[in-house]
Every structure is written in C-alpha cells, then in structure tokens.
Chain A
C-alpha cells in the first residue's frame, strides 16, 4: 500500500491498525496537506447497502466542525478499496496515556470536558458515536482532545456490535471484542438501539478508566463482562478522585438510560463546575431535613418501526405518541412526555431522511422547543431556550403555538408561531432561531389585542407554489401575508367580520382562529373565525362567507382535505359564551363543494351530553386513500375515521385536554405536500379502534406521505 495513490492521496506510511482496517499517513496532492487515510478492511464485508450507509454517515459526520472532533474530509472508493480520509491527528490515545494508575483528576476533568463537548455537538446534529472508548480518543501534544471515528461505528463496526448484541452470552473470549464490549451500555446488550444516552454511558466508562486505570466492569470472558455491565455496580473511586467527579461517573453509569444524564452538554457543565473549583460542597440527594413527597413519573414508549403510522397528540399536561400500522385499528400509546407541560404544538419532520418529532413545552419554568429523533425515547432539553425575543423588544416568550416545516427543498428551515404574536424562523434545523422582524415591526402590532387564549400567532401557512409567499393568522390581529419571504407583510382581512369591534369589517384586528391552504390549489384558503367561516380563492385578497347550513359559524379548527380542494372539515361550537358542541352533539361538518353546503358526520360520535370542544390544532388528516381524519377534544377523547369522516371510532379517552393532533408515517417519502396514496389493504370492515393494544404492523400497505 505504501507509495500507492488512492484518489488524490499518496500513501506515505502505515500509522495504525484498528477493527475496521489499517490507517495510513498520506499526502493530499491536491490540497497539499498531510492527512490520515483509513482503508476499510475487506473483512468488514460491506455490501453495497452498507457502503452507501457508510458514505451517508461519513458525510453527516464530516459536517461536525468542532475542535475536539477529528474531521472527516472525504470517503471514497477506488478499485474496490473503501477509504476514509480524515484530519491527521498526532498524539497519544487516552488509553495509552492512562496507564495502570489512572490520570490525575485535573487531567480527567480537562479531557472529560472536551470529550463531552464533542459529544454534545455530534448529538445536536443527530449523530451518535456508538463506539466511544479511550482507544478512540487522542490527546495532542498541547493537550487538545480529538475524538475519532464519529458516526462510523454503526456501519463499519456493525459486525462487532451485532455479534455482541445478539449473542453475547456465547462469547468466550473477551479479546474477540477488542475493547468495544467493556464500553457498551446495558441497553445495547439487551438488543436496543444505541442512542445519545449509550454514548453517555461510554463516556462514564472512559472517565472511570481515565481516573483509575481500571475498567468499571471487568471479566475474563465476554460473558463475564456483559454480566457485569448488566448487573454489577462499579467499585467506588475514592481519593484522589473528587466526590463530585465520582458522582458524575456514577450518573453516567446508571443502568436505566432515563436515569442518566440526558444530554452530553449536562455532563460537560457538571465537569466544568467541578473543574472550576468554586463548588466547595454539594449533595446529590434530597435535603434530608425537608419533608418528603413521592413522585412517580411513569413513561411508556411506543416502539415505532418502519411503516408505522403515528398520531402525535399534544395536551395541556404533556404529549403522547400513538403508533399503529396502515390498518389503524390497534394503537400502542407512548407517553406522557413532559409531565405537566402544555404541549400546544407538535410536528413530524422527515425531510432529508430524518425522522424528528418537534414539540413545544410550556410550564412555569418557561417555554421550550424540543425534539426527539427516536420517537420520544429521548428529547432535547436545551440549556438555553432556543426561541427568545431579542433584548431590545422588551418582550418575553410565553408559548409556542405552531411549528411549521419549511419547504421540502429547504430541510433546515422551520417556523414557529408564538405568543405574544410573533414569527420565528430557523435556517439551521433549529440550532438558532431569529425573530422575523418584518412582521414584528409591523405598525399594526401595538394594536393587536389578545384573545381568550392570549395574543397568539397560531397559524403559519406556506404557499406551496410561490416560495416568497406565506400567511400567518393572529388571534386577535387577523391574517397577514408576505409576498417577499417575510420582509413586508400586509393585512388580508377583507370580508372577515369582527363582531366585537365597532367597525365590523376593520382592516385588521379580527380574531381569526385558524387558516388552512389547499396544497393543490394554493390560491385557495379556508378560515375559521371567531364567528364566521370563510373561503378565499385569491390568495386572501378577499374572503367569502361560506357558513351555509352549519349549526353555528363559531369554532376553532378548519381542516382541508389533502387532495380535494372543495372538501373541508370543521367542528362548530355553540357560541362565544358556550364553547361546546351544539346541543351536546359532537358533529363534524364537511363540505364537498367549497362551502356551498355542509353535511354533519356523526356516525360513531357521541350525540348525547357530549359538550365537547375541538381546538384549533386538534384535528389532522392523513394521506391514505380514503383519507383518515383524527381529532381530539378538550375532555381528552381522541376519535378517528378511516373513511373520510363517514364513520368514526373512539381511539382513546382519558387524556388530558387535547390541544394538538398531528399524524405521520415513519419512513415515508420526504416532502411537505401531501399526495394521494392508496392504502391497498387499508381499512376493511373493522368497526372499532380498540385502544392501547399492541399492534402488529405490516408493510403491505404503507402510506408514504405525511400531512
């Protein structure tokens, strides 16, 4: 290999050997720099799919610009040789530096902070290391930590991982797993997928090893090591290891992932606090002198698989994730997540190959936008609230009412409508958010008035045909439209009543409850007002009253059929004073002629003493054919229809007040705009939706789009 050229890299010398192959020093003849080239061992037996996965993962990892992460420059293949080109890091591995006695605590803290910082960056980008160990961590001559092989373990190390995961009980020789097994978290040994918390377990092992020179879980065979990981408590690390550092290691090494730190940034902050020396003492347990209370946080996870259909349900006491298959007849319920928080907005984002659930949470500790890449098993909990008003506004965030995905071709763009009424935008997938000043500085804003729920910007609607056009709706401010990507906004309320104003048709100030656009006919919008039901066929230039035959034109939600631009669903409530289903009969109303007439859809819905309310975001439509419609009520009931509303079944009851319902299909094609998908074996004759029973998903009829 020495002297050969791979791509434009001339191999200079062999500098190492690892599980995935040999590592060479090489010279980049284009950019004239020294690099390291890892040539993947053919024994790794990567098939075409695994090679593609490796390429994909390496590309993702190459975006991790961080001083403590060894940068991946390129992954290539020449003459059947798969190789990874990365930053040449010269130094000693942490394994080699540690020796048998361990490092001084100051060094452990110094290195630990940098490792945790590297993990925090990777985790924020959705990348799990999966093979963190002291042999993968290099310390340069000036003390800088470089973590190697980010994101590569999933593909290249899969032979080692899966063999160990599936049949660790048969392993007889610890050397077979060449230093990987002792860092594996219990959940991996149980066969679960590695996630961020598995990396934090490995970080605990690394810190233990660095501090003591010993492994926390030892054994002569793989079986013994695995048993120790699953069952044993590591030996105490006493002086010179400071108690604070030992407490951090212990928390990383908690068997149950939920009891560990949930984010690498938390470990980093804890290590830095010890490092600063300013914390002179602390306790890890409760205040012994205080009265005790008993709290049980019971969370159940839905185990989501490819092809599954999901309902995301936000309530006033937390979020739930319901899983089913294309039949949508049996439901597995995950949650509650965010105990006691208002979850007014949720969204599913599968653009760019991701499968991220977004949720807004609000309680007395503030309002946060959070996300999960593993269907709720773990959620971000950022140290600093990502959505915040700039200091010059003098305004503080109260709640996030709406999460809207940007266009399919801009997978890093999202919008949030918030209270007090304002629009925020991110262009880096939620890492940083900025206030849309064009709307915030609008001269009308000081005269917007809060509705019953607060001064909320609750609807953010993108025109699928015009990239510069967007609509928002504010209660109570009305509809605003931009035609230039957000710089300038105009009130678009001609024809919409404001019953509570002296001028019943003002330029702005209407209490609009919800707007919806038809994806296939983007000039058409529908609007549920605080008294009034409207349609616009000219991009909101004017609105026409379409409350022709509904029992009340007061309501909150308005839902457009994903394919038929004449078909719309609403759930009227009796009046402003009595915001409950008219006559105590829960009726969904549907028009199939653009609002010229409406028909009640009641089969399966309670028609006696059903004083229900369906709030503005508590209704959603899937993209099956026929379309499925789902809604939740303030009384905590969840209903669904698999036949476009002709018949309804109760999916679940006993929930807290439902404020948001969204649907998704795991591993559907990416894209914002729904299209028709025939559910080949979907809804047959099953007449009920039994709740909370384990479903057996099938891929026979997989819908491929979300709403």
Chain B
C-alpha cells in the first residue's frame, strides 16, 4: 500500500494549489526531486517558484523533509520514504 507524500504549502504558493495548504499525493518517490516532480505534475505553477530554470532550489527557499532542512541532507537528492512530510518555507531574509 502506498502511503501518500504530504506537502505543506506556504500561503504565497496556494494560488497554484487551488488554495490548499496541505496536499497529499500518492506516489513512490525515492528522492526529494522525484517527490517535487509529482507535486508540480499536479500543480505546475509551483515549480518555477521553488527552483530556477536550471533546476536549482532558489537561494532563499528552504525545503524540509520532516524537521530536517534538505540543505544538510543532500538537497534534491535527499532520500524520501513512504509517507514523508515535506514543508516548503521561505527563508528569513530581506530588508
């Protein structure tokens, strides 16, 4: 049985997820990149907000798997397990 991946979507991106703050998608990703691909297959507007046209996560965007920032776990190659919870959070920055 596939346990869906849960994405927590920040306010700024909810206009691209039909207003949803939490999205659960049935998929079997092995990496964060796979999971994100599943997310933007359904919500294509999210993609360019999270990554550059060269596929790099934007500088001031943090992605967490559970409570762990993926910057310290391998970035887009970070492993994902069934039922993972992925949070997208803008970094504290700006002036």
Contact = CB atoms under 8 A, between A and B. Distances in A.
A281 interface: yes
Contacts of A396: 52-54, 56
A585 interface: no
A539 B33 CA distance: 50
Interface in B32-65: 38, 42-45, 47-49, 52-54, 56, 58-61
A366 B12 CA distance: 12
Contacts of B12: 365
B18 A280 contact: no
A501 interface: no
A130 B90 CA distance: 38
B58 A365 contact: yes
Given A272-B42, A396-B53, A280 B47 contact: no
A269 B49 contact: no
Contacts of B17: 270, 282
Nearest to B53: A388
A273 B43 contact: yes
A247 B23 CA distance: 14
B93 A251 contact: no
Interface in A245-272: 247-248, 251, 261-262, 265-266, 269-270, 272
B70 interface: no
B70 to A, nearest CB: 16
B19 interface: yes
A280 B4 contact: yes
Contacts of A388: 48, 53
A54 B43 CA distance: 37
A381 B15 contact: yes
Contact of B18 (A270, A340, A397): A270
B43 A384 contact: no
A285 B52 contact: no
A247 B16 contact: no
Nearest to B93: A364
B62 to A, nearest CB: 10
A261 B42 CA distance: 17
Nearest to A267: B18
Given A365-B61, A383-B48, A284 B42 contact: no
Assign chain B's interface to a size class: 35 or more
B8 A287 contact: yes
B47 A276 contact: no
Contacts of B25: 278-280
A331 B22 CA distance: 43
B88 to A, nearest CB: 10
A47 B59 CA distance: 58
Contacts of B43: 269, 273
A514 B9 CA distance: 41
Contacts of A272: 42
Contacts of A251: 18-19
Nearest to A340: B94
B74 interface: no
A286 interface: yes
Contacts of A383: 16, 44-45, 48
Contacts of B19: 247, 251, 284
Q: Could you say which of B19, B45, B59, B60 has the most chain A C-beta atoms within 10 Å of its C-beta?
A: B19
A99 to B, nearest CB: 28
Interface string A280-318: 111111110000000100000000000000000000000
A244 interface: yes
B92 to A, nearest CB: 10
Contacts of B93: 364
A340 to B, nearest CB: 8
A295 B21 CA distance: 16
Given A269-B45, A366-B52, A391-B53, A287 B22 contact: yes
B26 interface: yes
A395 interface: yes
Nearest to A381: B15
B76 interface: no
B55 to A, nearest CB: 8
A406 to B, nearest CB: 24
B11 interface: yes
Nearest to A281: B24
Contacts of A364: 58-61, 90-91, 93-94
A326 B46 CA distance: 43
A387 to B, nearest CB: 9
Contacts of B47: 384
A280 B22 contact: no
Nearest to B48: A385
Nearest to A266: B15
A280 B26 contact: yes
Nearest to A284: B19
A351 B61 CA distance: 38
Contact of A266 (B18, B26, B54, B56): B18
A386 to B, nearest CB: 10
Interface string B1-12: 000100010011
* Chain A CB within 10 Å, residue with most, of B18, B49, B61: B18
Contacts of B16: 266, 269, 383
Contacts of A265: 45
A281 B18 CA distance: 13
Nearest to B50: A365
B71 interface: no
A287 B22 CA distance: 7
A270 B53 CA distance: 23
A389 B54 contact: yes
Nearest to A293: B11
Given A279-B24, A283-B21, A366 B48 contact: yes
Contacts of A284: 18-21
A677 to B, nearest CB: 41
B8 A279 contact: no
27 contacts: A251-B18, A251-B19, A266-B16, A269-B45, A273-B42, A273-B43, A278-B42, A282-B23, A282-B24, A283-B21, A283-B22, A286-B21, A287-B8, A287-B21, A364-B59, A364-B60, A365-B13, A365-B61, A366-B48, A366-B52, A383-B44, A384-B44, A388-B48, A395-B54, A396-B53, A397-B52, A397-B53
Interface of B: 4, 8, 11-13, 15-27, 38, 42-45, 47-49, 52-54, 56, 58-61, 90-91, 93-94
Given A272-B42, A280-B24, A284-B18, 18 more contacts: A244-B18, A266-B18, A269-B43, A273-B42, A278-B42, A281-B4, A281-B24, A282-B20, A282-B22, A283-B20, A284-B20, A295-B11, A363-B94, A364-B90, A385-B53, A389-B53, A396-B52, A396-B56
